[in-house]
Amino acid sequence: MESISLYIHIPFCVKKCAYCDFTSYPGQLAQRDRYLEAVCREMRTQAAFFGRRPVKTMFLGGGTPTLLSGEQVRALMEAVRACFDLEPDAEITMEGNPGTLTAENLRAYRAAGVNRLSLGVQSFDDALLAGIGRIHTAAQAQEAVRMARDAGFGNLNLDLMLGLPGQSVQQWTQTLEQAIALSPEHLSCYALIVEEGTPLCGQVERGECAPLPDEDALCRMDEVTERLTREAGFARYEVSNYARPGFACRHNIVYWSCGPYLGLGCAAHSDLAGRRFYNPANWEAYLQTTQSGSTQRETEGENTPQDRMFERMMMGLRMTRGVDCARFARDFGRTPQEVWPRVIERCQRDGLMEREGEFLRLTPRGMQVMNSVLVEML
């Protein structure tokens, strides 16, 4: 039976960050057991429907999963093992907020089988952290790394954000240098996206926060990231992700490769057995769905072959290795060059795209204008 990846959404958080548009619920910690019971019900239902699949990667995302106790994570991992065949070398990631960690819980997470920790550090500048509504400080982030190492975590990712309101190239350089000095195995360096409906979007529109860095500053930040990570022994394998050898995030590669995955929990999406479906984002609606015992979920809008082909390109071009053209031809009966001949020819001529073996990929210059390339394909 084909291996899958498993995503479990943990929607609890202490407080919404100013930029966050993910499904999360502050002030609901008393509901953790009730929610986890619903997730386990859904897990059993889906395992009965899709079969006892081997699971090669698992990701606890949020929200803030580290608001779960060690005992709650242990029970959740036991439920996973009861429903699926968790492969012996499975990558099991847990997202965490440095302001919510305890040494006791970290040891319990590790004992339960979590073997990769992704810490939402975002910045090592306390003023910038406060400006985006983070609840932790730079000192707490450094202490979180120390506690994680003491608890036995040998695979650690630090999430960082560039392009924050008022952030200078120098501030970004300092944050990246401090992150590298902590010797993580992986770095995720995401450019801030101001999402509609978030508090930050309103602040930007009303001029209530420091100005956002301009395109020139963002390009210089990207150049700094490329240089410092390379000098420190990291390889860029995706537009925003850098890893030491052997530590690329296997779970996220499943998404970028359009592989099969099952999402559990409110607002979780799935792509499995030729179906695309998702759970209700509303808390109570999700709980009611799991109580019904039905495997029926909301299905995504009509997914035409053209939609699937574009999605394969959109996700695959995020990775430095690019899109596997042989697999693309097997799945769709046409190569990317046959689907988008003019766009690909022009991108290759302009030095934005190149072919290496069976893979079609963006050049470093093409990575900087990836959105423009995708718009042309649309």
Q: What's the confidence (pLDDT) of residue 289?
A: 87
Q: What's the confidence (pLDDT) of residue 299?
A: 67
List all residues 6 or more positions away from 256 whose beta carbon is below 8 Å from its beta carbon: 238, 315, 316, 318, 319
Q: What is the pLDDT along the chain (378 residues), one digit of tens a residue?
A: 889 999 999 999 999 898 988 899 998 999 999 999 999 999 999 999 999 999 999 999 999 999 999 999 999 999 999 999 999 999 999 999 999 999 999 999 999 999 999 999 999 999 999 999 999 999 999 999 999 999 999 999 999 999 999 999 999 999 999 999 999 999 999 999 999 999 998 998 999 999 999 999 998 999 999 999 999 999 999 999 999 999 999 999 999 999 999 999 999 999 998 888 999 999 889 988 888 766 556 666 557 889 999 999 999 999 999 999 999 999 999 999 999 999 999 999 999 999 999 999 999 889 888 999 999 998
Helix (H) / strand (E) element for 13: namely: strand 12-13
| Strands 241-243 and 186-191, sheet pairing | antiparallel
Cα gap 179→162, rounded to integer Å = 13
Cα gap 195→70, rounded to integer Å = 33
Q: What's the confidence (pLDDT) of residue 297?
A: 66
Q: What's the confidence (pLDDT) of residue 18?
A: 85
Task: Write down all domains in the chain, each with its CATH number in brackets.
Answer: 4-256 (3.20.20.70), 305-377 (1.10.10.920)
Cα gap 252→249, rounded to integer Å = 6
Nearest Cα neighbor of 278 from 46, 26, 14, 30 is 46
Q: What's the confidence (pLDDT) of residue 295?
A: 54
Q: What's the confidence (pLDDT) of residue 300?
A: 63
As a three-state string, the secondary structure of 236-287 is EEECCEEECCCCCCHHHHHHHCCCCEEEECCCCEEEECCEEEECCCCHHHHH
List all residues 6 or more positions away from 349 whose beta carbon is below 8 Å from its beta carbon: none
Q: Which ranges constitute the DSSP H helices of 11-85?
A: 32-50, 70-83
DSSP SS3 for 349: helix
User: pLDDT of 323-369, one tens digit each?
Assistant: 999 999 999 999 999 999 999 999 999 999 999 999 999 998 898 88
Q: What's the confidence (pLDDT) of residue 296?
A: 55
Q: 96 near 158, Cβ under 8 Å?
A: no
